[in-house]
Structure 1
């Protein structure tokens, strides 16, 4: 069976690459006129720790999303309009990650930290839903998947993406009162998705 999703995958790879590159634009070096010596430069860099945290979280989030996107399209051999639009939703949300990342970097230390974290965790709720939508759209017609995939494998992949949704919702819900705890949960989810991408590979093999 000839794979029909090559153009979708190539386009998606380009969008992921752009989205991950946009993150670095919110990292700013100080003006030379404001820094007189190494001590002041070091002090400035220490004060920018929230920017580094936000950049790191978002970089690895998008990277792991790309890994999972790659793995999931190893299972999808054909495409239809619904798959293309479901994939488009993922790409739309991925490119939007840079904005809540900037909010997190600028407001995490202030009184608006709960709203900044809520927006940040909220977009990952939507991204998780979009991944679930993509797999549901693809797996609802087995003819769109690789020929040798089993019903058991289809179910395992479905459950894999569904398991993350409650945790994302918990992180979003508690972010209004406990923003730091919500970010810790987000970090734990990075590990979960990194491990789960390996499970999809094993299903493929």
Structure 2
């Protein structure tokens, strides 16, 4: 009789630590675009302030991308608060997410230098969309098969977490759709993330309550 293949699992803490380090490096690299921007020759305080004011688009791109990275990191922290172990599939889904995380400093620099071109406006939103999509896929896999990678106490809330991930992917898709016209301002679509998630979760809770009473 053939022996059944044994599943191999890995410590979630190691995955979390590695991911934290990658996020930290990506966030640090964002500031390099500021430090490599030439201010030029200035002789007075007024000229310096004027030169810094002329960099407002660079500062805006930096601020938006740092906020996006921070949001992705918060999602990562929330996920690994509830993930108890990892398998090979989760490892590679998370690695794929990190691929797009480390690309964010590069696509941010394109926004600043090539905002007049279509590619310069859309590549950062596309980059962020895939990072969100793979983050949602990481959680979906962890919660699959009855929450086979989740901590016991987290399995009851897995469906609500799935809703949050799906809404985030939807907001990312809206951002990509509007970015040809609005560039990085299209990320305002993520303002809908919290309210939409709350509404859908509330409706789901009401349906479950109605079924239990019926």
TM range (shorter): 0.7 to 0.9
- Aligned equivalents of 1:158, 1:31: Cα separation in 2: 45
CA drift at 1:192: 3.7
Pair 1:147-2:140 in alignment: no
1:130 to 108, 129, 134: 134
Per-residue CA distance 1:124-155 (angstroms, 9 max, x = gap): 1111110121012111132311112344x111
Alignment CA distance shift 1:84-1:32 (3 Å):
closer
Please say if residues 23 and 102 of structure 2, whose CA atoms lie closer than 8 Å, have aligned partners that are also in contact: yes
> Higher relative contact order by CA 8 Å / sep ≥ 6: 1 or 2?
1
- Aligned equivalents of 1:105, 1:145: Cα separation in 2: 41
Bigger CA drift: 16-25 or 133-142?
133-142
CA RMSD of aligned residues (A): 2.3
- Aligned equivalents of 1:29, 1:4: Cα separation in 2: 39
Per-residue CA distance 1:161-195 (angstroms, 9 max, x = gap): 1012222212212222x125xx33414526846x9
Please say if residues 174 and 189 of structure 2, whose CA atoms lie closer than 8 Å, have aligned partners that are also in contact: no
- Aligned equivalents of 1:137, 1:30: Cα separation in 2: 42
Counting only pairs closer than 5 Å after superposition, residues 30-69 of structure 1 correspond to structure 2 as 34-69=41-76
Please say if residues 78 and 145 of structure 1, whose CA atoms lie closer than 8 Å, have aligned partners that are also in contact: yes
2:182 to 168, 179, 183: 179
Please say if residues 20 and 59 of structure 1, whose CA atoms lie closer than 8 Å, have aligned partners that are also in contact: yes
- Aligned equivalents of 1:154, 1:187: Cα separation in 2: 27
Q: Secondary structure at the match of 2:35?
A: coil
Counting only pairs closer than 5 Å after superposition, residues 148-167 of structure 1 correspond to structure 2 as 148-151=153-156, 153-167=157-171
Q: How many residues align?
A: 186
Q: Secondary structure at the match of 2:16?
A: helix
Q: Secondary structure at the match of 1:175?
A: helix
Gaps of 5+ in 2: 1-9, 198-214
- Aligned equivalents of 1:58, 1:33: Cα separation in 2: 25
Task: Please give the TM-score of this superposition, normalised by the length of structure 1.
Answer: 0.82
1:98 to 91, 96, 105: 105
Task: Please give the TM-score of this superposition, normalised by the length of structure 2.
Answer: 0.78
